[in-house]
Amino acid sequence: NRVLTKVIDLATLTGACIVALGPSIAGIFTPSDDLAKEVLAASEISGEKFWRMPMEDSYWESMKSSVADMVNT
């Protein structure tokens, strides 16, 4: 019975991040500066490479959904 404070989804983006960052760096998409810092700190410890991608305000309008937290299509 633990309290969940964060959910992190690691997934492929149909090759978009590979095109942008190459095959050995994963993209981070989050509006949270604190979460990004935690993930980047963990990446330093693990040796995995991550790069924070921009989250423009204009993105949010296209991700609105009436049945989910956000649309990802």
* Tens of pLDDT, residues 12-39: 666 888 888 998 999 998 889 999 999 9
Residue 67, both tokens: 């049945």
* Exposed / middle / buried, residue 56 (Cβ in 10 Å: 0-12, 13-18, 19+): exposed
pLDDT at position 56, please?
85
pTM of the model: 0.71
Task: Please tell me the distance from the alpha carbon of residue 19 to that of residue 4, in angstroms, as a whole number.
Answer: 33
Nearest CA among 68, 6, 2, 73 for reference residue 37: 6
